[in-house]
Structure 1
Amino acid sequence: MGLFNGLIGNATEVNHDSVRRQLQDVLIPNEEVDLAFTLVRDLVVFTDLRLIVVDKQGVTGKKSDYKTFPYKSISRFSVETSGHFDLDAELKIWISGAVEPAQVLQFRKDKNITLIQQALATAILK
């Protein structure tokens, strides 16, 4: 069911050890992974210092775009939940001074959007 959830866009929680190995060149010493989710091929990681969004690109997924959002630079975020006819939930993240969202993530009807919203609120409201 995990593979099927990933294919239809649901966020699937990922083992922290595998995320640490995958991001060994991105994480700084002593940075802790608090929460991690996959969205199809992409990866959304909450550490104790920042939000990291890994966008796998290309047919093979070998090319990756790593976006880092320090929690202190996130000025706001919004979550649009799914409805009866609109099956997508959406998370938008704005950074300080930006008019347009810096990141938009799409989810299918999924309980993990609530976990992600809570993690983001906890991180930026500290």
Structure 2
Amino acid sequence: MRLLDGLLGNASETDTNAIQLELAQLLAPGEEVRKSYVVIRDLMVFTTKRLLLIDKQGVTGKKREYMSIPYRSIERYSTETTGHFDLDAELKIWVRGMAEPISKTFRDNTLISDVGQTLSEYAL
């Protein structure tokens, strides 16, 4: 089911222990992964110090871009839930110093609410 969710653009929560091990060389001493979500191949990782957005690129996904956003740099965020005819839920994060917000699309109101709640917990 997870593969089908990924193909449809549905996000799903991932195993934080596995992500902690995968990102061990990238994390600061004492930094811990608290929550992580996968949307298709990309990851949103909430740590004790920052939000990491990981964009897996190429056919194999081996090439990756890591965007590190300290929580203090998040100015605001918005969530838009799905409707009867609009099946996309959208998350926008405004980061200090960036003209445009970072935008992520979800297909699940429950999970976008969970991501929004996690953002509230760490960014406010």
* TM-score tier (shorter): over 0.9
Native 8 Å contact 2:11 2:108 kept in 1: no
Q: Secondary structure at the match of 1:111?
A: helix
1:30 Cα shift? 1.1
Instruction: Answer yes or no: is 1:92 the counterpart of 2:109.
Output: no
Question: Which residue of 2 is the match for residue 48 of structure 1?
Answer: 48
Q: What do the CA deviations read for 1:21-71 (whole angstroms, capped 9, x no partner)?
A: 211121111111111011000011001110001000111111100001100
Measure, in 2, the Cα distance between the counterparts of 1:109 and 1:75: 24
Native 8 Å contact 1:82 1:109 kept in 2: yes
Aligned amino acid, residue 105 of structure 2: Q
Question: Which residue of 1 is the match for residue 103 of structure 2?
Answer: 104
Q: Secondary structure at the match of 1:5?
A: helix
1:99 Cα shift? 3.4
1:17 Cα shift? 1.2
- The list of structure 1 runs, each at least 4 consecutive aligned residues, that deviate by more than 6 angstroms after superposition, is none
1:5 Cα shift? 1.1
Q: Secondary structure at the match of 2:38?
A: strand
Native 8 Å contact 1:35 1:47 kept in 2: yes
**Number of residue-to-residue matches in the alignment:** 124
Question: Which residue of 2 is the match for residue 123 of structure 1?
Answer: 122
1:10 Cα shift? 1.0
1:98 Cα shift? 3.5
TM-score, length of structure 1 as denominator length: 0.93
Measure, in 1, the Cα distance between the counterparts of 2:98 and 2:33: 27
Native 8 Å contact 1:11 1:110 kept in 2: no
User: Structure 1 vs Structure 2: percent identity of aligned residues?
Assistant: 49
**Unpaired runs of 5+ in structure 2?**
none
